[in-house]
């Protein structure tokens, strides 16, 4: 059953309220006073004096738990990932270049589905995980619009994994405030790569489009072992900017509750404030005519990463929209540059 963000926050509030109740005082063991010796209270009462009240020490306050701890970058770093294995469900397609299978794997107590393209040959192969952008889960299909990128990368010799994420059929439903659940699903998949004999588990790259780019940024600041990342029309590393945009896209239907989170907590949740911690080479692509995600977000990310001394490339495509038309010159150039970048850091040219 889906747990909405509002219900999730309500349950945390009840838990915090209960945790703040002071514990009941514990009664001290009684000691019988000899009858032959009057107690000070008895002696004072015999002379008509009012007994002095007994001093009590107030209990120490119970620390208030952080309701956002598991959503923060530091919280994600402290989690354990990789319990279980990637399971191959059935073959979806066999081509001259690769075999595509439906896969399932455990993440956060859920079963998450997706597909895998394995190149023909012995392997093991370097891995690229393709992260799709926003698609209404009610209309989502496992072979999403990003399948063409996964296929091109497989033809280039990479083992490609394309997770659906939670809440996208046939995956299980689970909590996903700030899209942190999606990042957990990707981090779980990365940790399970050693269970795939044909995967070179120490040579992993990410290819993220739109929302998938935002997921990739969160994964990069949590897992320092990602060797390369391509961001294409990516969402922002600053969650406040993302939520303001989501609020606009949805006509006020989504994003408002998350924007009500305290600013201090929002900063701990946003990858933007942890970019200095990643050493992953990043390649950025964006269409200059993108009306969905502002192109300036990619320019700003490029400048921020350069200022931090990171390895980063940036390409802007004049006249191109949020998703380049399939087979267009811009689309071919995007894939050509991405494949060369992954080969440099994951393949034969990798240092």
pLDDT, residue 249, reads 86
Structure tokens at 104: 């399932």
The tens digit of pLDDT for each residue in 14-46 reads 333 433 433 443 333 333 443 444 444 444 444
The tens digit of pLDDT for each residue in 117-165 reads 999 999 999 999 999 999 999 999 999 999 999 999 999 999 999 999 9
Q: What CA–CA distance (Å, rounded) separates 200 from 205?
A: 11
350 has pLDDT over 50: no
The tens digit of pLDDT for each residue in 227-256 reads 999 999 999 999 999 999 999 888 888 888
Report yes or no: 295 and 231 within 8 Å, Cβ to Cβ: no
pLDDT, residue 326, reads 97
Of the two residues 285 and 32, the one the predictor is more confident about is 285
pLDDT, residue 77, reads 98
Report yes or no: 221 and 268 within 8 Å, Cβ to Cβ: no
329 has pLDDT over 80: yes
CATH assignment of 71-346, among 3.30.43.10, 3.20.20.70, 3.30.390.10, 3.40.50.1820? 3.40.50.1820
pLDDT, residue 150, reads 98
Handedness of CA 192, 197, 202, 203 (dihedral sign): negative
pLDDT, residue 100, reads 98
Q: What CA–CA distance (Å, rounded) separates 272 from 307?
A: 13
Structure tokens at 326: 């399939």
The residue assigned the tokens 């919280």 is: 75
Q: How confident is the model at residue 82 (pLDDT cuts 50, 70, 90)?
A: very high
The number of residues making up the chain comes to 351
Of the two residues 134 and 52, the one the predictor is more confident about is 134
Prediction pTM value: 0.82
297 has pLDDT over 50: yes
Highest mean pLDDT pick, 32-41, 253-262, 322-331: 322-331
Contacts made by residues 52-56, CB under 8 angstroms, sequence distance 24+: 56/25
Q: In terms of DSSP bridges, do strands 159-163 and 110-119 run parallel, antiparallel, or are they unpaired?
A: antiparallel
Q: What is the mean pLDDT of the chain?
A: 87
What 3-state DSSP class applies to 217?
helix
Percent of the chain predicted with pLDDT > 70:
81
Rounded average pLDDT over 171-200 = 97
Of the two residues 183 and 48, the one the predictor is more confident about is 183
């Amino acid at each position: 059953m889906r747990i909405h963000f509002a219900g999730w926050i309500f349950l945390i509030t009840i838990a915090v309220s209960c945790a703040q109740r002071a514990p009941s005082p514990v009664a001290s063991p009684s000691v019988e006073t000899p009858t032959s010796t009057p107690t000070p209270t008895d002696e004072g009462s015999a002379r008509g004096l009012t007994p002095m009240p007994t001093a009590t020490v107030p209990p120490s306050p119970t620390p208030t738990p952080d309701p956002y701890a598991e959503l923060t970058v530091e919280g994600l770093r402290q989690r354990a990932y990789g319990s279980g294995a990637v399971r191959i469900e059935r073959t979806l397609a066999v081509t001259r270049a690769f075999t595509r299978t439906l896969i399932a794997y455990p993440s956060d107590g859920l079963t998450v589905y997706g597909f895998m393209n394995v190149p023909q040959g012995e392997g093991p192969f370097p891995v690229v995980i393709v992260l799709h952008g926003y698609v209404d889960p009610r209309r989502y299909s496992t072979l999403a619009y990003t399948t063409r990128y996964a296929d091109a990368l497989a033809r280039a010799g990479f083992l490609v994994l394309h997770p659906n994420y939670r809440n996208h059929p046939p995956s299980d439903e689970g909590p996903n405030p700030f899209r942190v659940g999606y990042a957990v699903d990707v981090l779980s998949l990365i940790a399970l790569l050693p269970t795939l004999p044909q995967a070179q588990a120490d040579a992993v790259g990410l290819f993220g489009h739109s929302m998938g780019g935002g997921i990739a940024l969160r994964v990069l600041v949590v897992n320092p072992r990602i060797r390369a990342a391509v961001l294409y029309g990516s969402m922002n590393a600053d969650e406040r900017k993302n939520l303001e945009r989501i609020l606009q896209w949805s006509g006020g239907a989504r994003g408002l509750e998350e924007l009500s989170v305290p600013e201090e907590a929002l900063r701990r949740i946003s990858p933007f404030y942890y970019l200095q911690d990643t050493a992953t080479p990043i390649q950025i692509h964006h269409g200059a005519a993108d009306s969905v995600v502002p192109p300036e977000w990619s320019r700003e990310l490029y400048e921020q990463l350069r200022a931090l001394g990171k390895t980063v490339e940036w390409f802007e495509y004049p006249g191109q929209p949020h998703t380049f038309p399939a087979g267009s010159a811009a689309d071919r150039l995007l894939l050509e540059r991405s494949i060369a970048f992954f080969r440099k850091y994951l393949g034969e040219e990798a240092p």
